[in-house]
Amino acid sequence: MLIEILKSKLQDGYITESREDYEGSVRIDEEIMLEMGLVTNEVVEINSLEFNARHLTYVIPGPAGSKEISVRGALAQYFKRGDRVHLNCFCYMTQEEACDHKPVVVKTNVWVSKQS
């Protein structure tokens, strides 16, 4: 039997850009994606620390080193520049695999002012 388990998490990220004029997704710094073990078009859950909301979307790579977390499309109606978020990625494993699994937790220290 397979169970769903946390694969990786971006903790305390900040939305750097919010664009409604784009097909839905979240664009994330390519280095952060690599550190989290994410691949292009992989599903992630975005959790707001500003208000009670969780949304699913997929990731696309942003410029390496940019610290970018850019929400696009319909998500831009919920998340704005400067909002604090967690991004979670889940995977399926057997219970035996899950017993030895340690999720990757990436912490960011990027602050982007809502007024900027």
Please count the other Cβ atoms lying within 10 Å of the Cβ belonging to residue 67: 17
Beta bridge partners of 46: 55, 87
Q: Is 25 among the residues known to form the active site?
A: yes
Cα–Cα distance for residue pair 74/24, rounded to 1 Å: 6
**Phi, psi angle pair for 47, to nearest 5°:** -110, 130
Q: Which position among 8, 18, 25, 70 bears the catalytic label?
A: 25
Please count the other Cβ atoms lying within 10 Å of the Cβ belonging to residue 56: 10
Q: Which position among 58, 66, 92, 116 bears the catalytic label?
A: 58
Q: Is 78 among the residues known to form the active site?
A: no
Q: What residues are labeled active site?
A: 25, 58
